[in-house]
Structure 1
Amino acid sequence: MPPRVTVIVHGPDVRGSFAECLAGVLRQLPPPGHGERGGHGERGGHGGSKGRGGNKSHGGHGREGGREPEAEVVVVPTDAEAREATARAVAKDGRLVVVEVPEGTPETEARVAGARRAGGEWLQFVAGRDRLPAGSLHALTGAIQLCSVPAGRHHADVILLNHTRSTWSTDGAPSPDGPLLDKAGHSPLPLVTLPGLLRLAPLLGTRLVRASFWRAHEEVLTAGNALYTAYALPLLADRVACSDQLALDARTQRAATLPPPVADGPEGRVEPYVAAYRLLEPGPATAPLRRTLYDLMTEDWLHIIAREQRGHDRGFFLAAAEAARACKPEGHRAPEGVDGVRQKLLEAGSYERYLRLAEFNDRRRHWRSLARKQKRALGAKVRARRGRAARKAPLDPDLAVFTAYWNRGVTCNPGAIATKLAEIAPHIKPVWVSGRARVPLLPPGTEHVVPGTPRYQEAMARATYLVNNVNFPTGWVKRPGQLHLQTHHGTPLKRMGLDQMPYPAAAHGLDFRQLLRRIDKWDYSLTSNRHSTLMWRHAYPSGYTELEHGYPRNDVYYTAGPDLVRAVRTRLGIAPGVRAVLYAPTHRDYESEWHPRLDLARLTERLGPDTVLLVRGHYFYSSSPSELAGLRATRRVLDVSAYEPVEELALAADALVTDYSSIMFDYAHLDRPIVVYADDWEIYQATRGVYFDLMERPPGAVARTEDELTEILAGDAWRDTAARTARAAFRERFCAFDDGRAAERVVRRVFLGTPDAELPPVLPLAERTPAPTPEEAVSA
């Protein structure tokens, strides 16, 4: 079997980048000899036992029992420094395939040499100045898995992928391509049906190309530089597919550190576009692509003229103008506004008029910017004066500020604590911080403040108690005597806090120094099990007091009666006797928008009319349009993404299907079946990082494919003896402190100062009685 992917690292060494690029690749390859007898599946390390959903592996750890590795690496160094870096890498790992080319070989020719030596089914070209993000080899094979089609259907020639960008001062900044890639979906389609994909960053390293397609079109694909090839690949492909998984970290060096460009006149950025444009034969079939590419290339040329210190380069302007006139599609209309005026001036070759327009716009931007700065400065002075005045006033011993999920409303642990506070410490007044758009959704009569307002500043400055399940803004100045309770909002499977540092896809440019400053303001850190306590210690290192009192939001799982279970199911329209399965997947750091990872219509059809799916997308995606609208009419799939509180959905559900969401730890308190759908476990594990191997210690049955999930839910495996045994072990490990009285313990300890020895003791797990199941609630 050939390897799935060949990564071709090529080019010269740019200020030591070649060695770093190779090191990043080697870190992702399995150790030599690893998996030669079928990968991890034989011992269940990643695939799980066959009794828990089979041992098929996705994304780099074996190919359905085939040999490893999934990827091979071909290196084509083109200067002495790159050859030295390659020799050092080969000494560490002899699996690298090195292709010798003459000193100074152009990168286009280096790519050709590498592709001719490659043995993989797919090719990725990586310039030695760039890097592969952590987990990208898993992402490549995962993308191929996602974009594959059944035999007999059209397949993709090119898969378009996502990337991050790094400079000398920034590292791993996310690209704007994610939403476009995610919206396009994984199905192979002709590019003409999605011409907007041409607006993806033209980075060759984000184009995964089928080797057979490359070889069939090698001469045309290598007729220009990397910019040309990045456009030529999708333009020549019969079909393209998309995945927003990260494939490349594109690095931009400081211009001052680079040698002067060689022969990089107008032809360096004009001719590649023109050559790519000429690949499209004129006609109605290609008209959408021609229009899009024309707008793209003129936008890029105007950007160069305006932004890259070439405003006085008449030669570049005139070369771009000549190309624009030659390529302008028939009937093309310039965009509205100043951008359209610029495009028309470029097409006309009116360099002097363009300069006058640019000077006028520069002056206008200057005065507008100055006015905005003055307005902001005045507002900041007013707010600072009010803040200083509020901080001089004494603390209010009966004022508590609550907020949850970045000011999203009365919910989660803070909401449960506030409810108990009103019961046993009613003299303390809770005030909720709410975003302006969320105010109409607050419960009637909720006392609230909106960030940035004078009332908000006063509340934050004078409250004695501050409760949050995330962090307050870094700019909040904590006063002596204020008590900050961090409740958190889940049990960590995925890496959190400082533990995200080795995972750039998860960190997304998080400022860890600022994070530490926010952590240092915590007085109390609340946990629901010993695992969380230990993980928070190194994820959030500071001097706070740990409160192992349980999660107040989970109290309802032990206090709810049959009336509440029946009421929620009635509210959702679930008839008695119908099995309700809550499907609640988590957020992927390598996906910008949420799409169900299951064919929900097909799944419900196979499960039959006696099962309804309650589908809850992650709150990170609340602004994204739902894909479930077309399924609502069937009443077999219900979009409950906006339903609050989530605990009521759990009470209404007969079973939970999730992937890696922390909801599994909360739902386990109900002692009801949990099924883990882990179709991308290796990719998630590599890109986000995890604290333990969920495949080895799951809370129930595990499915690695949709067919396996259907088989589990259609049969008895979702609730059989093996599932109950796994759930019992999971509950023993993660359900230690929640017994229905967590909120009371927190209120008495933090707000009333009750010593730990006088708090209600935690009831042992064996002595607790969870809320009744839907079946029990019907007969109660």
Structure 2
Amino acid sequence: MADTPAHIGDGLAAARSGAPVSLSVVVPVHLVQGYLRQCLDSILVPDAPNLEVIAVDDASPDHCGQILDEYAGRDPRVRVRHLERNVGPGEARNTGLDMATGDYVWFVDSDDYLTPDAVSAVLERLADTRPDVLLFGHAREYWHGKVKRTSVGDLAGAGVFSCAEQPSVLTLTSAAWNRVIRRRFLADLGLRFGAGRYEDVTVAYPALLAAERISLLDQVCYIYRQRRRGPVTRTTSAQHFDVFDQYERVFTFLGSLGAAGEPLRAPMFDQAMRHMQQILERGERLHEEDAPRYFERLAQAYAAYRPAGHELPRDEQAAKKYQLIGKNDYKGYQRALTRKPPSRTPAKAATAMFRKRKRAAVNVAKRTGLRQYYKAQLRMPIDENLAVFAAYWYRGYACNPAAIYEKMRELAPDVHGVWVVKRENVKSVPKGVDYVVRGSKDFWRVMARGKYFVNNVNWTDDIVKRPGQVHVMTHHGTPLKSMGLDQMKYPASAKGMDFKLMISRADRWDFVVSANPLSTEAWERGFPCKYEMLEVGYPRNDRLVRATDAEKAELRRKLGIPEGKKAVLYTPTHREYQRSFRPTFDIRRFARELGDEYVLLMRAHYFYKPGAGQWDPERVVDVSAHRSVEDLCIASDALLTDYSSIMFDYAVLPDRPIVLFVPDWETYQLTRGTNFDVTAFPPGAVAYDEEELLKTFRTGAPWLEESAVRARAAFRARFCPWDDGHAAERTVRRVFLGEQVPNPPEAP
């Protein structure tokens, strides 16, 4: 034991003592608000008391800082450091490392997440083997749903070993996140993450090269998310030249090991060459004009780091590439490549998509006898003062698009607005509002030549988005339920949905309106496309903010609500596991037992049409066909719902109780998926069965208690922070007038 290094002796002594190990998880955070909660939830398992999470807010300009503070406020294992300026992931990890107190440290990227048993399995393996470095399997999760598993391979049965004993360990993915490192060992070596694009390299490899005790866990513990937008490896940039500086540091460290490092020079050289060649051969990383210069740097690295007596790879193609690199023969290297051609540039890809959509749209127009007309209109200039509006798949004038339209007429009177509606919905268009019928000649003209397009759902696939046109997606509710790509995990709700086609539609968006921070997180995660997020509040809620008693009285009169009665608005949501509307409680009984002082306003989801005459008209009024849900909110005295997004809008109204009836909460979560637990953070009283629901509405019952009032206030503060009555104005000023607006605005 006298010849054993001090850090090894410490590890062996701890192993013999059987003492439990502690783990510090360092999470650098920047522009990941859509993924951060899943990351933190996967780490903060309840059965890990010897765990600390150090989250470093790398001056993230989105809501990441608030999310971190929220977690720290409810879990003492979370410590947060807010940096005043953005320093990059490497330096952010260094900051977290300096704060760490655990025996071991794990660097987890904040847009990735751990598998359910990862923390317990890692802690158990660390306690059993007390390694300097623990490596484990991971999986790459692609945005389109494909998952590719990477294990530790044949090394799994190697026990505890050193890099010299198993040099093939260097071929495992060179990341900070697929390994746990003993903190004191890391400190004694003086290893720090570098700045730049490949900052992992300066810790991942030196730690392995110096480690005397390496242990493996043949289990997928980490999910590496291959995001559609944002990952470094998909970015075309000269910053990829950083890889040469990082490997220079690795080989300098290797030289500092002296004779002990010499046997590792050849495998380290081969691994560095593989990495550097990979960057060159994946066309999306380097600009075409930068490739020759990169190859020259590669040749310089080859000459500088290749050890004496190094043998060429046995693979003939790999050996040929080595020889060409050694000669600095870029043209020969290009001829030797047997790879696919470089990926199309974003501009070329956009042009190809435009042409594809144009062909599809022309084919649809042909079927309606308007092919030549539409083709001609697509060649005409865009009308810079034409705005096209639609809502709910052309059902009529409604929702956020209607609120934006009205404010546009006030603030941008030179812009002419036209609504698209189905023929059967023409009567729903208010007097004085211009419209075209879906599929008509006028429809094809405005779709071809309009400048602005505002919708709360996606435009259909037969619509071409021309360069210069502006699409605004407003959505039509705060996403309590999973949306977009998040639905891939819930096939019962997806029902064969084509997610690639869904994302191609979302690629048309230029602006996305967000009602609150939860919406921003969900839209960024569910629709990872290139658009500007307008965190302005919901335009349709401007009316709710400004609602008056006089307006409420007039709406109640029009709806036929008897004076003196309390109107409860009932809005059940759609359930994917049901084929038709089936109330979750006996509406007849509920209305009867509420008594004569109540009337129930029945608002079925627009997917359903409740049969007429089902209920006593004196007690239940079917308002499912009413044009404006905002009217119903203002006219009512309370809201009864389950998982409908209307609860987030209704919370804007002051002093209006909200009751949730959630008898199938677990089923709904399993079949549709949700973005947060509404039963843990409700907007008021919660009932789980019919008897509890009836009790809730009786005189002096829970829906009016102080706890329900406090719950509604907290819910409103969290989910209605930007609803100040000016959401539509902010949208119009940004989109139509090109002004910069507060984004997000200060809380009212």
| Amino acid of the structure 2 residue aligned with 1:683 | T
Q: 1:746 aligns with which of 716, 725, 731?
A: 731
Match of 1:446 in 2: 433
- Equivalent residues of 1:738, 1:762 under 8 A apart: no
Q: What aligned pairs does 1:615-630 form with structure 2 within 5 A after superposition? A: 615-621=602-608, 624=609, 626-627=610-611, 629-630=613-614
Match of 1:573 in 2: 560
CA positional deviation for 1:448: 1.4
Match of 1:603 in 2: 590
Match of 2:689 in 1: 705
2:689 equivalent to 1:681: no
Match of 2:707 in 1: 722
Contiguous gaps of at least 5 residues in structure 2? 1-45, 47-362
Tell me, in whole angstroms, the C-alpha distance in 1 between the residues paired with 2:572 and 2:694: 16
Tell me, in whole angstroms, the C-alpha distance in 2 between the residues paired with 1:389 and 1:581: 53
Match of 2:629 in 1: 646
2:506 equivalent to 1:523: no
Structure 2 length normalisation: TM-score?
0.50
Classify the secondary structure of the residue corresponding to 1:629: coil
CA positional deviation for 1:599: 1.1
CA positional deviation for 1:763: 5.6
CA positional deviation for 1:474: 1.6
- Equivalent residues of 2:457, 2:476 under 8 A apart: yes
Match of 1:658 in 2: 641
| Amino acid of the structure 2 residue aligned with 1:691 | N
| Amino acid of the structure 2 residue aligned with 1:422 | R
Tell me, in whole angstroms, the C-alpha distance in 2 between the residues paired with 1:532 and 1:408: 24
| Amino acid of the structure 2 residue aligned with 1:546 | M
Match of 2:650 in 1: 667
Tell me, in whole angstroms, the C-alpha distance in 1 between the residues paired with 2:522 and 2:488: 15
CA positional deviation for 1:620: 1.1
2:385 equivalent to 1:398: yes
| Amino acid of the structure 2 residue aligned with 1:688 | R
Tell me, in whole angstroms, the C-alpha distance in 2 between the residues paired with 1:381 and 1:596: 41
Match of 1:383 in 2: 370
Match of 1:205 in 2: none
Classify the secondary structure of the residue corresponding to 1:619: coil
Match of 1:139 in 2: none
| Amino acid of the structure 2 residue aligned with 1:500 | Q
Match of 1:424 in 2: 411
Tell me, in whole angstroms, the C-alpha distance in 1 between the residues paired with 2:458 and 2:468: 18
Classify the secondary structure of the residue corresponding to 2:568: strand
Tell me, in whole angstroms, the C-alpha distance in 2 between the residues paired with 1:401 and 1:381: 21
CA positional deviation for 1:571: 1.4
Match of 1:756 in 2: 741
- Equivalent residues of 2:535, 2:745 under 8 A apart: no
Residues 305-355 of structure 1 deviation map (CA, whole Å, 9 limit, x = unaligned): xxxxxxxxxxxxxxxxxxxxxxxxxxxxxxxxxxxxxxxxxxxxxxxxxxx
Runs of 4+ in 1 over 4 A off after TM superposition: none
CA positional deviation for 1:572: 1.8
Tell me, in whole angstroms, the C-alpha distance in 2 between the residues paired with 1:398 and 1:430: 8
2:679 equivalent to 1:695: yes
Q: 2:445 aligns with which of 458, 479, 483?
A: 458
What is the root-mean-square deviation in Å for CA atoms of aligned residues?
1.8
CA positional deviation for 1:404: 0.3
2:545 equivalent to 1:558: yes
Percentage identity across paired residues of the two chains: 49
Tell me, in whole angstroms, the C-alpha distance in 2 between the residues paired with 1:640 and 1:405: 17
When residues 378 and 474 of structure 1 are mapped into structure 2, their CA distance, relative to the original with a 3 A threshold, is closer
Residues 564-603 of structure 1 deviation map (CA, whole Å, 9 limit, x = unaligned): 1000111122233311111101001111211222211211
CA positional deviation for 1:695: 1.2
| Amino acid of the structure 2 residue aligned with 1:390 | Q
| Amino acid of the structure 2 residue aligned with 1:631 | W
Q: What aligned pairs does 1:278-297 form with structure 2 within 5 A after superposition? A: none
| Amino acid of the structure 1 residue aligned with 2:542 | D
When residues 763 and 537 of structure 1 are mapped into structure 2, their CA distance, relative to the original with a 3 A threshold, is closer
CA positional deviation for 1:377: 9.2
CA positional deviation for 1:627: 3.9
Tell me, in whole angstroms, the C-alpha distance in 2 between the residues paired with 1:694 and 1:402: 33
Tell me, in whole angstroms, the C-alpha distance in 2 between the residues paired with 1:752 and 1:389: 29
CA positional deviation for 1:378: 9.6
Classify the secondary structure of the residue corresponding to 1:501: helix
- Equivalent residues of 2:368, 2:439 under 8 A apart: no
When residues 722 and 454 of structure 1 are mapped into structure 2, their CA distance, relative to the original with a 3 A threshold, is same
When residues 599 and 627 of structure 1 are mapped into structure 2, their CA distance, relative to the original with a 3 A threshold, is farther
- Equivalent residues of 2:389, 2:418 under 8 A apart: yes
- Equivalent residues of 1:474, 1:517 under 8 A apart: no
Structure 1 length normalisation: TM-score?
0.48
Classify the secondary structure of the residue corresponding to 2:371: helix
CA positional deviation for 1:456: 1.0
Residues 546-565 of structure 1 deviation map (CA, whole Å, 9 limit, x = unaligned): 00011110001111222110
Tell me, in whole angstroms, the C-alpha distance in 1 between the residues paired with 2:490 and 2:726: 37
Classify the secondary structure of the residue corresponding to 2:556: helix
Classify the secondary structure of the residue corresponding to 1:485: strand
Tell me, in whole angstroms, the C-alpha distance in 2 between the residues paired with 1:559 and 1:691: 29
Tell me, in whole angstroms, the C-alpha distance in 1 between the residues paired with 2:442 and 2:614: 44
Q: 2:521 aligns with which of 534, 550, 557?
A: 534
Q: 2:497 aligns with which of 477, 490, 510?
A: 510
Aligned residues: 385
Tell me, in whole angstroms, the C-alpha distance in 2 between the residues paired with 1:669 and 1:381: 45
CA positional deviation for 1:628: 5.2
